[in-house]
Structure 1
Amino acid sequence: MLRIPFYSLTIFLLGLSSCRQPKGNIPSSTDIDALTLKKGKIISCGADQQFGLANLEMSCDKRSLADFRLAVSLLHSFEYDEAEKAFAKVIDETPGCSMAYWGVAMSNFHALWAPPAIAELKKGSKAIEIANSITNKTSREQAYIKAIDAYYAGWETVSHKERCKRYADAMEKLHAAYPSDKEAAAFYALSLVAAADPSDKTYTNQLKAGTILSALYPGQPDHPGIVHYIIHTYDYPEIAQHALTAARKYAGIAPSSAHALHMPSHIFTRLGLWDECIRSNQESVSSAQCYAEETKIGKHWDEELHGLDYLVYAYLQKGDNDAANRQLQYLNTIKEVKPTNFKVAYSFAAIPARILLENKDWKAAAQLLNTQTPVNWKEYPWQESITHFSRLLGAAHTRDLASATKELQILKALRDTLLRQNDSYKAQQVDVQILTGEAWIEFQSGKKDTALKRMIQAADLEDKTEKHPVTPGEILPARELLGDLLMEMNRYTEALSAYERSLKKNPARFNSLYGAALAASKTGNPERAASFARDLINQSPGSKRAEVLLARDLSRN
């Protein structure tokens, strides 16, 4: 019988044990499977996987580097589902790659969109837990993981807003520790925009982010995140001009991304460049339709609906009702959307409301219904308020004050719901609608002074905060409606001032241009009236709207 020395047997068993215990605490297949990662072919529409070039380094197997960088490029264009699939491929190839799990957590974060759903928060938290358990990572990688961990930690009890701020603070430390890491700089800039206070009209965070991104851009002209984040950083009326170059560049960097095709239209909308806005969203909608077909989801994709809203808005500013109504007819054929989220709800509410209110079709607005949609409106009180706001304005303008008052009470109930949900931003947006509705009810009741006071309050409140990124603009700007009210009161000089202020915030708006032209003519200033009228005519070639015909008369003075 062969005798093996005890110490030799011990060494053998220890060696066997070490083989069963992989280096770097590679996660178990059970833990990985529990993430239920999205997997499959990366969908590329319009171009063959052209998503730009990201350069984030990782210490994992270099054979996965190309897949990892593709995943980060997708992440920079907010192609979150595809990014997760790409990170999942890296995990399949290199399960001990901690940064791949960081990528999964980032793919479920959605910094500038609605807060993650509970399932996404659980997935992100689990991914970070796995990333933290892996020991073979660099100190820089640990800093990246620690930063996103700051967002997910305590998500059950800490607000999304507070966690966004914690993430921004952590990214600031990462950026300071690794100033030459351009990816860290780009993600830090995005975190500043995500954590910005929407009522801060000094744009402290945004300008800081813009400085960081502008310094990065010359050296990385094909980086998708830099130009994308520049667009979001300057997506405000007073500073939008700074992003025009990036807006015209982004679609060419990442033409395979529907979101990259759409995002430039944010700046085109801010600057009143309607033809460019239309082209941008036509391409984006087409790409989103391709994505839905390629993924075989059997329904429409949410990004398509988002593009449709911007497309309709731009058509309306050109006075092209025929094109806008074609989009509405198409929208009415859509019965299923995946995912059905805040963007989808907004589009279903906003598109029909915009068409009626921009055309001042008050009778139809008073009867507006939004029931034949895949949206559960109880989940989206802010979006639901758009329909009731439209009905209120329609009822008030047709002197059905009982119905208008009923809609006003519904708006107040929706506002209270948002307050109970601690969503003060959206509650304030509904407050603007409430004040506007009260103004027109009071006006039709003969209480002109009270009406004017309410309308001024609405305009001032709306001016204090920025619009949500989901929307190209307010359903009807309160300052423009103030101009309309002043025109009804024959206070033409004040009305002209209101329209001019509306145009400063919303350049080239059809109704503000027409209102300004009419108000200027009423004040005995034919030159200014002609200037506004010519601007309206030039941006509305072929429009059949009566306002354009009247503008032609004003332009001759």
Structure 2
Amino acid sequence: MKKSILSTWLLLLSISLLLAYCKGKNQESANAINSIENLRRGDIVLCGPDQRQLGKTDFSFSCSEKSRDTFNMGLALLHSFEYSEAEKAFVKVLENDPDCAMAYWGIAMANFHPLWAAPNKEELQKGAKASAIALKLKGSNKREQAYIEAIHTFFNGHEELKHAARAKQYEQAMEKIYLEYPDDKEAAILYTLALDATADPADKTYTNQKKAGAILNKLYPGRPDHPGVVHYIIHNYDYPELAPLGLEAARKYASVAPSSAHALHMPSHIFTRMGLWDESIQSNLASAAAAKCYAEALGANAHNDQELHAMDYLVYAYLQTGQEQKAKEQIDYLRSMKSMFPEGQTSTYAIAAMPARYVLELRNWKEAATLDTTTTLFDMDKYPWSKAIIHFTRVLGAVHTRDIAAARKDLSSLQNQHARLVKSGDDYKANQVLIQVKMADAWIQFAEGDKEKALAGMQAAADLEEKTGKHPVTPGEVIPARELLGDMLLAAGKNEAAQEAFQANLKRTPNRKNSLSGASIAASRSGAVAIHRP
């Protein structure tokens, strides 16, 4: 009897201790997730012609089986750069499985966005915290732990190390996983994204991009519906010389993930590179509509950055097809906007570039000279690259309306934006603004009569621009340097050289309206035959 009572007592004690342990463990898990500030939670919001269609991902997953579909949705959202909704998906995984280390990995990945602007302070803190928790929990196997350690290398030490150095560390860590686990297709796909993110903009042999493209092309036949495969093929071939290699993926991606505004837009990167304007227009109309729907579904009372991104590409394509009124409608719509989210390089670049493109493409120099350097949508002073676009446009407008004093004033402001970017260590953007400084200075010299020096300056600007890749946030320069060189050569009466400049620009940017017309004018004046296609 006593033995029986003792056994019962020991059993009850064991259960009590187990319950106490589980309660403590659950509390510890709850404390872990609650320690991450500004975490996105709630229902996953999607818009598009076919909601909840994001492509097919199947990650080998060791956490709760009932969370598998949610985890894969989060992964698919990551691959289409729907970072806010991806974060929500990974939080939902944690609601079912609070100790799932890979869900914390997903949260960290949702705050990385390697091809966009570097994470802001809030995103860095969130990613660092999530990756640290994941590291403490540890993945359920060596492979998962390697994924966690890879993203931790990016966020760890962000206070001391620059973004580029940490992105390189992440790329190297992903390469190790790719090599160690050759059957892990997800590792290969994420590695190709890391390669593109760390590619040298000045490398015109496209070493990283070609390496990534080769990996993705091997994967594509067996995974044509994987959003990362088709998406990253497009990004890695988003260059004048490589664009035709991405056309098949471009025409595929929108059907793979029609619930993503970014997926609907992304094909237009290749369409723009190849001068396929009608396809670009259709792509971006669908994307802008989906992004607007997304913002409305969130109840944000603001415009999503993906809508603005698509609009910039729309304005560009409309202007190349002579649809100036439709381009103006986009500009007017932009000016009617009261707020946007999230604020960052994607949206701020588009807001500055759209009106600049419009006046420069139409050669509306009077309006260009007085283009507003402010906007109610964001503080322009926080974004020197975006602000530089406006000052550059104003210089060209002032020069062509013969107000050299105003042109010099805006040149000085342009030089200030360049100095700010140099000081910040943002070499790529500093270089982009330096090209604009050179062009602006050359046109002022030309207007003042020093034509040979001006032409030499424009030639140098065009050469520098062609050595530098474009940023993913833009469909192309607000006006290509080589095309502006052609304009200057025409104005100088050097018609044969002007035709060569326009034709050279058409090789980089096929079917650009002003280069086509410039080449025809130059050919007519020189008595040569105009060649309208590169």
TM range (shorter): over 0.9
Structure 2: state its 5+ residue gaps: none
Partner of 2:230: 227
Number of equivalences: 530
The alpha-carbon distance between structure 1 residues 94 and 24, as it changes in their structure 2 partners (threshold 3 A), is farther
Assess if the C-alpha contact under 8 Å between 1:70 and 1:86 holds in 2. Answer: yes
1:405-434 C-alpha deviation (Å, 9 max, x unpaired):
111111111100001110111111111111
Structure 1: state its 5+ residue gaps: 537-557
Is the counterpart of residue 365 in structure 1 residue 365 in structure 2?
no
User: Comparing 33-42 with 291-300, which one deviates more in the overlay?
Assistant: 33-42
Aligned partners of 2:296 and 2:487: how far apart in 1? 45
1:134-533 paired onto structure 2 within 5 Å:
134-135=137-138, 137-525=140-528, 528-529=529-530, 531-532=531-532
Q: Secondary structure at the match of 1:332?
A: helix
Partner of 2:132: 129
Aligned partners of 2:19 and 2:197: how far apart in 1? 45
Aligned partners of 2:20 and 2:107: how far apart in 1? 27
Aligned partners of 1:282 and 1:65: how far apart in 2? 34
Aligned partners of 2:176 and 2:495: how far apart in 1? 54
Partner of 2:93: 90
Aligned partners of 2:200 and 2:59: how far apart in 1? 29
Partner of 2:42: 40
Q: Secondary structure at the match of 2:53?
A: coil
Assess if the C-alpha contact under 8 Å between 1:24 and 1:136 holds in 2. Answer: no
Partner of 1:539: none
Letter of the 1:43 counterpart? V
Partner of 1:28: 29
Partner of 1:544: none
Letter of the 2:40 counterpart? K
Aligned partners of 1:272 and 1:25: how far apart in 2? 58
Deviation of 1:516 (Å): 0.8
Q: Secondary structure at the match of 1:112?
A: coil
Q: Secondary structure at the match of 1:28?
A: helix
Assess if the C-alpha contact under 8 Å between 2:29 and 2:99 holds in 1. Answer: no
Deviation of 1:341 (Å): 1.5
Partner of 1:58: 61
Aligned partners of 2:105 and 2:267: how far apart in 1? 28
Assess if the C-alpha contact under 8 Å between 2:138 and 2:145 holds in 1. Answer: no
Deviation of 1:13 (Å): 5.6
Deviation of 1:7 (Å): 11
Deviation of 1:4 (Å): 11
Assess if the C-alpha contact under 8 Å between 2:202 and 2:469 holds in 1. Answer: yes
Letter of the 1:499 counterpart? F
Aligned partners of 1:282 and 1:135: how far apart in 2? 44
User: Comparing 27-36 with 101-110, which one deviates more in the overlay?
Assistant: 27-36
Q: What RMSD in Å do the two structures reach over aligned CA positions?
A: 2.0
Assess if the C-alpha contact under 8 Å between 1:395 and 1:404 holds in 2. Answer: yes
Deviation of 1:194 (Å): 0.5
Letter of the 2:20 counterpart? R
Aligned partners of 2:507 and 2:363: how far apart in 1? 22
Deviation of 1:44 (Å): 2.1
Q: Secondary structure at the match of 2:60?
A: coil
**4+ aligned runs moved over 2 Å, structure 1:** 2-28, 370-373
Assess if the C-alpha contact under 8 Å between 2:76 and 2:227 holds in 1. Answer: yes
1:16-48 C-alpha deviation (Å, 9 max, x unpaired):
445433499765212211224212221121212
TM-score, normalised on structure 1? 0.92
Aligned partners of 2:138 and 2:447: how far apart in 1? 70
The alpha-carbon distance between structure 1 residues 270 and 23, as it changes in their structure 2 partners (threshold 3 A), is farther
Partner of 1:106: 109
Assess if the C-alpha contact under 8 Å between 2:189 and 2:228 holds in 1. Answer: yes
Q: Secondary structure at the match of 2:86?
A: helix
Assess if the C-alpha contact under 8 Å between 1:354 and 1:475 holds in 2. Answer: yes
Q: Secondary structure at the match of 1:95?
A: coil
